[in-house]
Amino acid sequence: MTRTPAHDTTATINRYARELKAPRIANIHATIAEQARAESWTHEEYLAAVLSVEATARAESGANQRVKRAGFPSVKTIADFDFTAQPAIDRAEIARLETGAWVATAENVVLLGPPGTGKTHLATALGVTAAQQGYRVLFDTAAGWVNTLTEAHAMGRLEPTLKRLSGYHLLIIDELGYIPVEADAANLFFQLVSRRYEHGSIIVTSNLAFSQWAQCFGDVTVATAMVDRIVHHAKIFQHRGTSHRIKGREIPATTPAPQPHQAQ
């Protein structure tokens, strides 16, 4: 049997790699082949090694795309979070959340506490971790979600929008309570939460205790129903302390009065 010249084989592999949209195979097959010959690998071991490189690269690329599409304001990690500044946050519990099992079972995470105490950081970091694990994630502020739902309702596209959002494994609602929500918008927001109950995960960050959510939504009934659905299957964390953005800085009690102009 006539053997195909090595350069012809390489050209064939490169062509197949292009057709399969697997550029890593074209880049690494020769290097791995040298190692395989030196170590007397079987054909199956060589093939597995080549495919492993391509599969790993695709997984990393997919993870990066999911993180990018999630709309995070910035990428944060659990490793960068200062747990010493928040001793009330159970590091072991956060580690369990890092496994992503809670997303698979449609559980929620609620982060409560004053501004600047790391709620958005943890919410983002858990979202990034979930995206890297293959889950579809979408991030926005509470005000952003309200705008999305209000615009969809005005255009007669609320149902398609809710259906599209149900395709995400995890929605992150940041800064709930910073801006009051009007009654009509509160009902739309409730529909989003209700649709996800036991079907998809939510992370919520808020500067308000649950008892104060009625202040945000202007309706005790809506707020109570929303809290009930969110906390039923939820891990709740209470952040405490002073904002890290102003810690250590002197904040004047009043704005200094303007100095009178001195005539020259």
Which CATH number does the domain housing residue 181 bear? 3.40.50.300
Closest by CA position to 202, among listed 251, 139, 249: 139
- Do 94 and 139 share a structural domain? yes
- Same structural domain, 197 and 97: yes
203 and 153 in a common domain: yes
- Assess whether 93 and 217 both reside in one domain: yes
Average confidence (pLDDT) over 34-39: 91
Cα separation of 227 and 110, whole Å? 10
Distance of CA 167 to the CA centre of its chain: 15
Distance CA 96, CA 262 (A): 64
Question: Is residue 115 situated within a structural domain?
Answer: yes
- At residue 262 the predicted structure's pLDDT band, cuts being 50, 70 and 90, is very low
261 band by pLDDT with thresholds 50, 70 and 90: very low
User: Is residue 34 in some structural domain?
Assistant: yes
Task: Find the domain containing 57 and state its range.
Answer: 6-65
The verdict on 97 and 196 lying in the same domain is yes
As a whole-number percent, the residues of the chain with pLDDT over 90 amount to 68
Give the DSSP H or E segment for 237. Answer: strand 234-238
| Contacts with 141 (C-beta within 8 Å, 6 or more apart), sequence order | 173, 174, 175, 178
Residue 241: predicted pLDDT: 77
**More confident: 226 or 2:** 226
Predicted TM-score (pTM) above 0.75 = yes
All residues at 6 or more sequence positions from 215 whose CB lies less than 8 Å from its CB, including other chains: 177, 180, 208
Rounded Cα–Cα distance for residues 169 and 146 (Å): 19
Question: Is there a single domain that holds both residue 134 and residue 44?
Answer: no
Asked if the structure places residue 148 within a domain, the reply is yes
Structure confidence at residue 7 as a pLDDT band (50, 70, 90): low
Within 73-219, residue ranges assigned H as helices are 91-97, 101-104, 119-132, 142-154, 158-165, 183-196, 213-217
Indicate if 229 and 115 belong to the same structural domain: yes
What string of DSSP letters covers 43-66? HHHHHHHHHHHHHHHHHHHHHHHH
Instruction: Give the chain's domain count.
Output: 2
Q: Is the pLDDT of residue 259 over 70?
A: no
Angle at 22 between CA 16 and CA 25, to 5 degrees: 80
Task: State the burial class of residue 46 (Cβ atoms within 10 Å of its Cβ: 0-12, 13-18, 19+).
Answer: middle
39 plus 169 within the same structural domain: no
Among 8-17, 55-64, 82-91, 245-254, the range of highest mean pLDDT: 82-91
Pair 189, 58 in one domain: no
Whether 93 and 56 map to the same domain: the answer is: no
Distances (CA, A) of 206 to 17, 56, 186, 230: 49, 37, 16, 13
d(CA 33, CA 139): 44
Residue 78 falls in which region: left (phi positive, over 0), alpha (psi -120 to 50) or beta = alpha
